[in-house]
Amino acid sequence: MITIYTSPSCSSCRKVKKWFEEQNIPYREKNIFVATLNPTELKDMISKSENGTDDIISKRSKIIKEGNVDIDDMTISQLIEFIRENPSILKRPIMVDDKRIQVGYNSEEIRSFIPRAQRIAMMACKNCLDCDLKNKIN
């Protein structure tokens, strides 16, 4: 199951949810300001990130800048606790499934979340004139 970590005021979060709904791909939404992220979720995000914390944490966040916080000097446990106490430092949206993570809305990269069978069918239908999938491809 795909989990999308969101915040209410995030326009990219709304785009991502709309895209998943249009593709009929089920997802679970988790508002980072309502539900406290558990350590397992955060470790999973960090482990799937190509660049570790740089991919998921906004170093331009007010809390990090004004607090003069150096997340690179924190242990994993300290970092996880810091994120749990300050979820606004996370970039949004963050989409995670069992194999991958994507941060932010990117119209090309998000396609990796389309199930493989659906992608194969879409590729076969690119030249099809009578298929309902053609409308979804364009």
Q: Which of 37, 45, 40 is CA-nearest to residue 7?
A: 37
Asked whether 80 and 42 are in contact (CB, 8 A), the reply is yes
How does pLDDT run across 73-127, given as a tens digit for each residue? Answer: 999 999 999 999 999 999 999 999 999 999 999 989 998 888 876 766 666 666 5
C-beta of residue 97 within 8 angstroms of C-beta of residue 1: yes
Report the range of poorest mean pLDDT among 19-28, 59-68, 94-103. Answer: 59-68
- What domains does the chain contain, in order, with CATH numbers? 2-113 (3.40.30.10)
With a CB cutoff of 8 Å and minimum separation 6, the contacts of 138 are: none
Give me the active site residues, please: 10
Question: What long-range pairs does 62-70 form, CB within 8 A, spacing at least 24?
Answer: 62/88, 63/88, 63/89, 64/89
Q: Is the pTM value of this prediction over 0.95?
A: no
Residue whose structure tokens are 């999308």: 4
Under a CB-based contact definition with an 8 Å cutoff, are residues 41 and 126 in contact? Answer: no
